[in-house]
Amino acid sequence: MAWLKDAYLDVIVLLLIAVFAVYTNNILEVVLWVYTGLLLLSKVIAFFMPALQKKADQTEAPPLFYHLIYALTIAIFLYIAKYYLAIAWALIWLASFISSAKKSKKKS
């Protein structure tokens, strides 16, 4: 469970998204848009720059944990009809999946 300290921000963001689903708030929506945009940008940049990808892969959290986080996030956004945010998170998930597939391919 030492990997939880690597993933605390992801858990906090998931909780903020759940709060946003219950109590729609314009300020929280802006925060989520900014975070989503920055995360998507970082995933795209790391996808094309292997040096950054190597640094980003230094987490001990299991890949299944991140797949669960992304799936829950997309499900929440779809449930509350925030389709653009859901699409952005689906792209984040896809970029993460491709980079983890590349990483596991290099190991074998």
Residue 98 or residue 71, greater confidence:
71
Structure-token match 């998507």, residue found:
40
Answer with the residue of higher pLDDT: 85 or 43: 85
> Which range scores top for mean pLDDT: 55-59, 96-100, 101-105?
96-100
**What is the pTM for the complete model shown?**
0.85
What is the Cα–Cα distance from 37 to 39, expressed in whole angstroms? 5
Alpha-carbon span 4 to 11, nearest angstrom: 9
Are the CB atoms for 49 and 108 separated by under 8 Å? Answer: no
- Categorize the per-residue pLDDT at 50 as very low, low, confident or very high, splitting at 50, 70 and 90: confident
pLDDT band at 20 (very low <50, low <70, confident <90, very high): very high
Type and span of the H or E element at 87: helix 83-107
Q: Which residue has the higher pLDDT, 55 or 45?
A: 45
